[in-house]
Amino acid sequence: MKRVLIYGDSNTFGTGPMAALKDDTTLPRGARWGDVLGADLGLGVEVVTEGLPGRTTVHDDPVEGAYRNGLRPLRAILESHKPLDLLIICLGTNDAKNRFGLNATDIALGVARLVREAKALDVTDKILVICPPAVQERGDLAAIFEGAEARSKALPEAMERFAGENGASYFDAGQVISVDPIDGVHWNASSHTKLGHAIAPVIRALLG
C-alpha cells in the first residue's frame, strides 16, 4: 500500500467557516478534502492528514504559540509516518496574517524551506506543494488578516516558482475552490469535496 501525508493547517484539519472568533466548527470525518481524496484513490493508497489550525510555514506565532511553527515538528511527523510515497504541503494561509508582515515571496520561501527540509530527511523523493486559495478580509477574521487579500494575489506565482526551483510539484487550489465568504479564510464542505476530487488524478499521476 502506498502512503500519502498531507501537512497542512486548519483547512486540512477541517475547521469550518467561523462567523465569530469563538466558533469551533469542524467538518465531520469523510467531508474533509483529505478524506475525499482518500476515498477517490481507493484501498491501495493510505492518506494521512496532519492538519493543525493556525500552523504557519516556518514562523513562531507570537499570539497563538510557537508550536504553530510548521518547521518545528516536521521531522518528527515525517519520520512517524515513513515510509512515504508522497508528501503534500498545503500551507501559507496563516503566514498571510498581518502580525507576520510577510509578502507573497516570503510566504512562498517558507514553503520552499519545508520542501528542502523534507528532502534532506530522505523520507520521500516526491513532494507536492498546494497553494491555498486567496484570503478575503471578512467578518471577525478581517482584522487578523488585514492586507492579506493583496498579499494573496501574488502567492500562486511565487509558490509555483519556488516549489519548482526546489524540486517539488505544484497545484493551485485557487483554480478549483475559494474561501467561504463567512470568514474569508476557511473552506466550506463543498470546497473540500471539489478539491479532494480535483487533486485525486494529480496524486495518481505522481504515485505512478
Question: Is the pLDDT at 101 greater than 90, yes or no?
Answer: yes
First-residue to last-residue Cα distance in the chain: 13
**Cell numbers standing for residue 34:** 483529505
Rounded to an integer, the average pLDDT of 1-18 is: 97
Residue 132 confidence (pLDDT): 98
Per-residue pLDDT of 28-85, as tens digits, reads 999 999 999 999 999 999 999 999 999 999 999 999 999 999 999 999 999 999 999 9
Helix (H) / strand (E) containing 78: helix 74-81
Q: Which residue has the cell 478524506?
A: 35
Of 54, 67, 42, the closest CA to residue 11 belongs to 54
Name the residue type at position 83. Answer: P
Residue 64 confidence (pLDDT): 96
